[in-house]
Structure 1
């Protein structure tokens, strides 16, 4: 079977939140953690901090609906991203909501036998590793590129170049997988890298056939 992405793909780079799993409750905990951090750092009430965060996200939005990630918004508000990572570690509890995903594990095991898999996320390493472990899929990834890698949240051209340089390979050897085009996929596309947007877990299950490697 012929691959829809070309024959030279060697490295699959996955976003985490909204791509490898979906959980509204975890998203709400991350949002609340960011609000608390803004309140703490700016001496505001939670209600005031929520408005400041919302206003900043709208101000940074160049295209309607394409909101920047919370990490970038916090950075623009003068917050040290080390504090952002710390607050997520303290306040986000994915163990309350996630459990092993056998179907996803089967898919990633199949892909790992043919490609090298990576995670590229705006989460800190501790939280990202915890989520992957709870899903039962941590073992399938060669490396997790978390926020600590460059302290430059996606989308960021410089951080992407550093990631590509560390993994190694020509643009044609990569496939990036993510749920938010403007955050996860737009910068790779600018470099001529193949991308695969996902909105549901069913989209992920199509990867083997699109890569031309169905058994």
Structure 2
């Protein structure tokens, strides 16, 4: 493989740790504002869910806009970003082997890219927290492309940056329809990490470190 692309959430990033970070943030915010933390968390989840459900097709919807909507629904008017960033930085965790795989591939000289539906700033902040941001040659986000996976534009944009041909590029993803089918339709090789099985899966990974043997 000439290029290896990773999704962030669910692949490099442990998704469960994100939920814990949001729970901590809402609890800290509730304490500062004198709110019931359980009710506030329910409102937070409802508003975020509604924000993303209103998306049409593969259009991009900013997570930050969803956070602002949920904050407004809680009746909070003030600076919340430092508290949110602190909760994320101190709570999110990489999946087992993720940092090792990125560092090893980078040391081998492999082209490394990200293809993720995250907001650009949030994606970079996550990679920076794991101290691997500088290991990536390119980062392609839905905020940049204005589309989400499996829209072909996401994969085409990433491939254009890498200058590699699809059949010599590997996509590592955790969602079958978005990551695996989307990449396969773009002509890429695929590695499923936690994704459902299906005809678009070329390789299944029980551990991210298995990527090192593939490439």
Question: 2:105 matched to which residue of 1?
Answer: 111
CA-to-aligned-CA distance 1:163-197 (integer Å, 9 cap, x gap): 22232221122000011111111111123311101
Question: Structure 2: which 5+ runs fail to align?
Answer: 26-40, 69-80, 196-204
Retained in 2: the 8 A contact 1:15–1:179?
yes
In 1, the alpha carbon distance for the partners of 2:44 and 2:129 equals 31
1:142 pairs with one of 129, 133, 137 = 137
In 1, the alpha carbon distance for the partners of 2:7 and 2:158 equals 13
In 1, the alpha carbon distance for the partners of 2:93 and 2:184 equals 33
Question: 2:166 matched to which residue of 1?
Answer: 171
- The yes-or-no answer on 1:21 pairing with 2:25 is no
Q: RMSD between aligned alpha carbons? A: 3.8
Counterparts in 2 of 1:23 and 1:97: CA distance versus 1, 3 Å: farther
Question: 1:76 matched to which residue of 2?
Answer: 56
Q: Which stretch shifts more, 184-193 or 12-21?
A: 184-193
In 2, the alpha carbon distance for the partners of 1:88 and 1:173 equals 38
Q: Which structure ranks higher in relative contact order (CA pairs < 8 Å, sequence separation ≥ 6)?
A: 1
CA shift, 1:152, in A, is 0.5
- The yes-or-no answer on 1:85 pairing with 2:64 is yes
Retained in 2: the 8 A contact 1:85–1:123?
no
SS in 2 for 1:24: helix
In 2, the alpha carbon distance for the partners of 1:85 and 1:49 equals 13
CA-to-aligned-CA distance 1:26-66 (integer Å, 9 cap, x gap): 146679x9xxxxxxxxxxxx979967986x8xxxxxxxxxx
Counterparts in 2 of 1:86 and 1:29: CA distance versus 1, 3 Å: farther
In 2, the alpha carbon distance for the partners of 1:155 and 1:80 equals 12
CA-to-aligned-CA distance 1:95-115 (integer Å, 9 cap, x gap): 131368895333222211231
Question: 1:183 matched to which residue of 2?
Answer: 178
- Count, aligned residues: 175
TM-score (norm 1): 0.65
Question: Structure 1: which 5+ runs fail to align?
Answer: 1-8, 34-45, 57-69
Retained in 1: the 8 A contact 2:18–2:92?
no
TM-score (norm 2): 0.65
In 2, the alpha carbon distance for the partners of 1:80 and 1:208 equals 32
Retained in 2: the 8 A contact 1:30–1:88?
no
CA-to-aligned-CA distance 1:1-34 (integer Å, 9 cap, x gap): xxxxxxxx11111000110121424146679x9x
Retained in 1: the 8 A contact 2:60–2:148?
no
SS in 1 for 2:104: helix
